[in-house]
Structure 1
Amino acid sequence: MQLISAPASPFARKVRVLASETGLLPRIELIDTAVLPVTHNEQVNASNPLGKLPVLLTDDGEALFDSRVICEYLDSLHDQAPLFPAEPAARWRTLRLAALADGLMDAALLLRYERAVRPAEYQWDGWVDGQLGKVRRALASLDAQAHELQGSLNIASISVACALGYLDFRFADLHWRQDAPALAAFQAAFAARESMRSTEPA
């Protein structure tokens, strides 16, 4: 298998962490690239018409995209405890938390593009405030639900940890831990896992 991704992408990191935790990482060739909303990456576009990362090229020659789809596919390839719960109540709780983490990542990436890619004279303070609002509401909600994450290893805990890692990487000035102590405690423990340490962006 081949994973086309960007080392700084929190969505790609989520895939790499899950692959590491399930023992699948040695079976995956990592292909680093980069995409921006205003540029074309033909390698990525050929596999994902949306031009977004990550993309997994399976051994059968199929291209899978969207990190959650890739993660669920990888979760079907190992014999350990599943990281996507099968029991309905646990599954929907877990997927809801994972979706909240994905939304946090989306908002943070849009903030990053606005600040780092859009020319300064075209940047929109209202847009920035809107995305920051999403980030802060997601953090508050995750902090209130941190007891469901603490000590767990599943797609939700992996997604949340990667989202928070991206905030530390790109938005250290947010100081998110000040208002989310329970979430900070979860992150401190989860970030110590080898899968997280080995995928930390430089």
Structure 2
Amino acid sequence: MGISLVKGQKVDLTKGNAGLTKVIVGLGWDPAEQKSGFFGMKKAANVDCDASALLLDANGKLSGERNLVCFYNKQSGDGSVIHSGDNITGQGEGDDEQIHVQLDRVPANIHRILCVVNIYECESRKQDFGMIKSAFIRIVNPANNQELVRFNLTENYSGKTALVVGELYRHNGEWKFNAIGEGTHAAHVDILARQYQ
């Protein structure tokens, strides 16, 4: 069982895990039940969340469009970060989307890999993260499928259309994870990415 984090907590990934060169960033969520209809029947909303990774330099800047890994650009320019593909419902157990990171191949100029989640077509569908429950991010060692870290997002994110979930970052030659869990407003991942250009 991995370490369970709270918002703002940081943990070493590679220190103490000798030989850890690859990780899977698993992100998951479930649609919350919403009251609908004449009798107030509960029904799960059909919310399409999209996980993305922003590869940022030492100044916290996104340099180059290939450093945004998301549903329409599934691989970073150098091939060190790969998106598993789009899950449009969030239903089912386990990770809904995964981002594979080969830590030893991440270019030296990349200092942070920011993991974010947006709701697809949130404005036209009038959806926000208040319609999502049981959201989490976890870091898994793919060599043995061991969960190293888990961060459950338990805050109320009603009204927010994007989540900055967590980040992998370099510190003194080691890779660490920071549990961020901040809600924000961005109708599309491209809009969120502009904040880092």
Higher strand proportion (structure 1 or 2): 2
Give the TM-score of the pair, scaled to structure 2.
0.29
Higher helix proportion = 1
So what's the TM-score if we normalise by structure 1? 0.29
* Higher RCO (CA 8 Å, separation ≥ 6 residues): 2
